[in-house]
Amino acid sequence: MLDTVKLGRRPGSMRTVERVVTAPRRIGLDLIAIEEGSEIDLDLRLEAVSEGVLVTGSLRADTAGECSRCLEPFSDTVDLTLTELFAYPDSTTEETTEEGEVYHVVDDEIDLEPVVIDAVGLALPLQPLCS
Tally the domains of the chain.
Answer: 1
Write phi, then psi, for 129 (nearest 5 degrees): -125, 140
**Average pLDDT, rounded, for the chain:** 88
Distance CA 2, CA 114 (A): 13
Identify the domain containing residue 23 by its residue range: 2-123
Please report whether residue 130 resides in a domain. Answer: no
Please report whether residue 131 resides in a domain. Answer: no
- SS3 (DSSP) at 118: helix
Nearest one of 38, 37, 46 to 18, comparing CA atoms: 46
- Residue-level pLDDT at 103: 82
Please report whether residue 85 resides in a domain. Answer: yes
- Residue-level pLDDT at 51: 85
> pLDDT of 19-48, one tens digit each?
999 999 999 999 999 999 999 999 999 999
- Residue 18 bridge partners (DSSP): 43
Distance CA 96, CA 70 (A): 48
Please report whether residue 70 resides in a domain. Answer: yes
Report the amino acid identity of residue 84. E
Mean pLDDT of the region 49-71 = 92
Q: Could you tell me the pTM of the whole model? A: 0.80
- Residue-level pLDDT at 13: 86
> Out of 2-16, 25-39, 56-70, 85-99, which region has the weakest mean confidence (pLDDT)?
85-99
At residue 102 the predicted structure's pLDDT band, cuts being 50, 70 and 90, is confident
